[in-house]
Structure 1
Amino acid sequence: MNIKRMRVSIITLRRKCRSWGHQRGLCVLSILVSLVILTIRYLTITERVEETDLNPCLVPKEQRRWLFHLLSTVSSLLSHLAITHFLCYDSLWGAVQESGPLPWDAHAHLCALNEKVAVHDEAELLRAFRRRGLALEYSSAEGQYTIKNSSAIPDKWEAPTIQIILFEEDDRVHMLRRVGWKRRVLPPDCDAHPSLQCFPPNLVALPLPERPFGPLTLPAPREDIDLLKFHYPDTWWRPLLPQC
Structure 2
Amino acid sequence: MIMKCTVMSVRRRCRSWSRQRGLIFLLLVVFGMVMTTRFLMENDKEVEEQPPCTVSKEQRRELYPLLSAVSTLLSRLSITHFLCFDSLWGAIQESGPLPWDAHAHFCALNEKVSVHDEAELLRAFRRRGLTLEYSSAEGQYTIRNSSAEVSNFEAPTVRVVLFEEDARVHMLRRVGWRRRLLPPDCDAHPTLQCFPPNLAAVPLPLRPFGPLTLPAPREDIDLLKFHYPETWWRPLQPHC
Secondary structure at 1:165 match in 2: strand
Measure, in 1, the Cα distance between the counterparts of 2:167 and 2:194: 12
Deviations 1:129-182 (A, max 9, x none): 000000100000100000001013241210000110000000111000000011
Measure, in 2, the Cα distance between the counterparts of 1:89 and 1:215: 19
Tell me which residue corresponds to 1:187: 183
| 2:230 corresponds to 1:234 | yes
Structure 1 unaligned segments of length 5 or more: list them.
1-48
Identity of aligned residues (%): 80
Tell me which residue corresponds to 1:116: 112
Measure, in 2, the Cα distance between the counterparts of 1:50 and 1:130: 44
Tell me which residue corresponds to 2:128: 132
| 2:200 corresponds to 1:204 | yes
When normalised by structure 2's length, the TM-score is: 0.79
**Alpha-carbon distance, 1:57 to partner:** 1.5
Aligned residues: 196
When normalised by structure 1's length, the TM-score is: 0.78
Tell me which residue corresponds to 1:26: none
Tell me which residue corresponds to 2:170: 174
Moved over 6 A (4+): 49-52
| 2:74 corresponds to 1:75 | no
Asked whether the 8 Å contact 2:52–2:238 carries over to 1, the reply is no
Deviations 1:107-139 (A, max 9, x none): 000000000000000000000000000010000
| 2:143 corresponds to 1:147 | yes
**Alpha-carbon distance, 1:62 to partner:** 1.5
Secondary structure at 2:191 match in 1: helix
Tell me which residue corresponds to 1:103: 99
Report the aligned-residue RMSD: 1.6
**Alpha-carbon distance, 1:56 to partner:** 4.5
Tell me which residue corresponds to 1:54: 50
Secondary structure at 1:147 match in 2: strand
Measure, in 1, the Cα distance between the counterparts of 2:71 and 2:52: 30
Secondary structure at 1:128 match in 2: helix
Secondary structure at 2:91 match in 1: helix
Secondary structure at 2:88 match in 1: helix
Q: Which amino acid aligns with 2:194?
A: C
Tell me which residue corresponds to 1:85: 81
Measure, in 2, the Cα distance between the counterparts of 1:202 and 1:60: 37
Tell me which residue corresponds to 1:223: 219
Tell me which residue corresponds to 1:164: 160
Measure, in 1, the Cα distance between the counterparts of 2:48 and 2:57: 15
